[in-house]
Amino acid sequence: MQIISVMNYKGGVGKTTVTANLAGELAFRGKKVLLLDMDAQASLTFSFVTPDYWDTDLKESKTIKSWFDCISQGNQTMPLSDLVVRPKRVNKFLSNKNTRGVVDLISSHLGLINVDLELATLLGGANMTQTKRNYIKVHGKLRAEIQSVTSDEYDIVLIDCPPNFDALVKSHAAVQRT
């Protein structure tokens, strides 16, 4: 299984478009793809599910923000597999084409933009060394969760990153080191 983060520090350069089209092509070729939308703009999410569906079925408890909220509130995180949805339209298309590929999604949330500040407040330590250790724990937890979700189920994970180098993007980079 491969994990690929699509990142650039500037917005509007096509990260989301590349991620969505790569997922579609790989699934069309029979790959099982998991998309992780880490960009607060949620454009990748809305490329695969309607805003109405997101609002009624995902917003409250089935986004990556829900996972990070558990950490910032000091609660046990849910398995990432609890956040996975299978977008109907794209998967119906794939099924009609007789491909074995699939596209699944862990959606973003517009409130994800505040998660970095919450994590910085929570993870800040008495000194830089302690702060780094705290961030590594969170990054390691995200890496382990992605691996547990994807080990048998997916051929590839594509992560759409936000256009900056905040704590969330750093956690993507930590995931890549596996």
**2-176 CATH fold:** Rossmann fold (3.40.50)
pLDDT of 178 above 50: no
Q: What pLDDT digit, counting tens, does each position of 57-66 carry?
A: 999 999 999 9
Q: What pLDDT digit, counting tens, does each position of 46-95 carry?
A: 999 999 999 999 999 999 999 988 887 888 989 999 999 999 999 999 99
Q: Residue-wise over 68-78: b if at least 16 C-beta within 10 A, else e?
A: bbebbeeeebe
pTM: 0.83
Classify residue 1 by its DSSP letter.
-
Integer distance in angstroms from the first to the last C-alpha of the chain? 11
What is the CB-side half-sphere exposure of residue 142 using CA atoms within 13 A? Answer: 28
The residues spanned by each domain of the chain are: 2-176
